[in-house]
Copies of this chain bind each other. A is one copy, B any other.
Amino acid sequence: MTGKKKAAKASLEAMYRVFTVPEAPESTLSRIDKDISSNLAGFLQDHIVAIERDLSDVEKDFAESAIPEKPIFVSEQTQFLLDKLVANSVHTAAPSFIGHMTSALPYFMLPLSKIMIALNQNLVKTETSKAFTPMERQVLGQIHRLVYQQDSAFYRKWMHDPRHSLGAMCSGGTVANLTALWVARNRAFPAEGSFRGLHEEGLFRALKYYGHEGAAIVVSKRGHYSLRKAADVLGLGRDALVSVETDESNRIQTDALRDKCLELQKQKIKIIAICGVAGTTETGNVDPLEAMADIAREFGAHFHVDAAWGGPTLFSRTYKHLLRGIEEADSVTFDAHKQLYVPMGAGLVVFKEPGLASAVEHHAQYIIRKGSRDLGSTTLEGSRPGMSMLIHSGLKILAREGYEILIDQGIEKARTFARMIDDQADFELITRPELNILTYRYCPEGVRQALAVADELQAEKMNACLNRITKFIQKTQRERGKAFVSRTRLEPAWYYHFPCIVFRVVLANPLTTPEILEDILKEQRELSKDEGIADEIDILQQMAAVVLKQSQKAARQA
């Protein structure tokens, strides 16, 4: 054997080992593997270093653009990941991380995920998934039943019917919403006469054939941004996402919705879908779904409900009434990586009628042939992992009762926090929680009094100042790394609809305690006294004083 051949053989054998020989038990990676299994919370706390480190600084560790030529040891990369990636990641499971919809995971999800990854099934076809396919169909059936409450006979008939699908698993809520609207769009322009349907001939010919000037998706202005993205992807254009005003509780105004639909109809614009929101991303409110269903029926529009966040409220006997009317939706989006407590990367959409998904059905020669059980025929994605196994496990291990507790305690904790904020003179609750989301801001007592009597211009000035303060507090608190609330912009009616920056809080982690919430307020109050924002606070207090003085003077004169 020549030297060159020998070297080639050695490399090949090394590669063989990479695929067949597991990490030694005493290797860095095996140790971490064990650490995570035995004490996840400890591992995260020990390794995630919540220090104030700017992203531009972190970028330096990820600056090399060339793919390395020579292999390195697994242990070396593991150490790199621990020091540079894990250390600078976000402790999303921390009970004081209440800013976004990513929360802690039940412990069993981790080893179960390992099984899923080890099996490496591909759900696009049964040839690479076998039992995973009926398992996923069952999960879709179970969520369908949670939403639509059909009887067992219905599911016996449809759940495993190879020519039908009660829904589609997706990588997340965005793809779920897109899938629902894809179905809605294609169904709005079906084959008829010489026209072979939008799915074949496209939107341009569809509108021409049916004599429409355009097509629209109608949703409240609190609808998730994925809907606008979907309008773009689907070729309708972002303009086609028509926003409707909300009431003081961030729910769609049904009168305004109906007016808008009439207006669109008059303009010969086809209403493809009306979307209800069951748990707005920013404020956690639920649209009046029953009334919306009626309006959708009146205008012959597909009724979609985006319950990515609020869907699991259906587990709660106490609160499921909040979603009344959801069972009238043609399609419903559910996110599993939110309140089903499954790791990131799992969403789904269910369809009321088993035939609906056929509007987007497609086949190929080598897989998902007609009549096969392959789930790939009605999903937007192709190759997909077996995430549904984790939903399946959550539904069995936690069961309805377990999820009910999670939902109930989240909503009740949000109410507790709202009361806490109400009780503090220097914080202002902006939206009261309907589900487990609320918004508020820091607002010194005198300023609140001044805002109550201010005219529009004065209020605008003070709110602009408060915006800078809120932004500062939120950013600084995040950078400090002990706690995290997010921020968004809302337009409260009582401030003349001026866009106000607010703290946004999502209470889905069962480990978040009232004490933690107290501490968060305490830190925010502290930050309001920070040098970096002292000038803003001064100006604000002065403005408030002037406004109050004027108002008192006016009162005396009156």
Contact = CB atoms under 8 A, between A and B. Distances in A.
14 contacts: A19-B105, A55-B373, A68-B399, A87-B131, A90-B121, A92-B122, A171-B345, A171-B384, A196-B239, A199-B232, A204-B207, A229-B362, A229-B380, A345-B345
Interface string A173-215: 1110010001001100000000010111111111100000011
Interface string A222-238: 00011011011111111
Interface string A108-135: 1111111101111110011111111111
A127 B487 CA distance: 11
Contacts of A282: 365-366
A77 B199 CA distance: 42
Interface string A410-454: 000000000000000000000000000000000000000000000
A440 to B, nearest CB: 14
B395 A67 contact: yes
A237 B384 contact: no
Contacts of A43: 118
A278 to B, nearest CB: 17
Interface residues of A, number: 183
A85 B130 CA distance: 9
- Which of A64, A202, A489 has the most B CB atoms < 10 Å from its CB? A202
Given A117-B110, A200-B239, A37 B61 contact: no
Contacts of A142: 64-67
Interface string A42-66: 0110001000000110110111111
A381 B175 contact: yes
Interface stretch (A96-104, A515-523, A537-545): A96-104
Given A128-B102, A159-B65, A398-B71, A85 B389 contact: yes
A323 to B, nearest CB: 16
B12 A409 contact: yes
Given A174-B381, A380-B229, A113 B113 contact: yes
A89 B382 CA distance: 19
Contacts of A125: 100
A396 B74 CA distance: 9
Interface string A14-29: 1110111111010001
A345 B395 CA distance: 23
A497 to B, nearest CB: 14
A90 B129 contact: yes
Ranked nearest first, the 3 interchain pairs of A and B with the lowest CB-CB distance are A235-B235, A202-B237, A65-B155
Interface stretch (A249-257, A259-267, A400-408, A525-533): A400-408
A39 interface: yes
Given A12-B405, A159-B65, A202-B237, A102 B118 contact: no
A401 B70 contact: yes
B65 A127 contact: no
Contacts of A401: 11, 69-71
A117 B93 CA distance: 11
A456 B203 CA distance: 42
A138 B397 CA distance: 39
A38 B66 contact: no
Contacts of A237: 198-203, 205-206
A121 B345 CA distance: 10
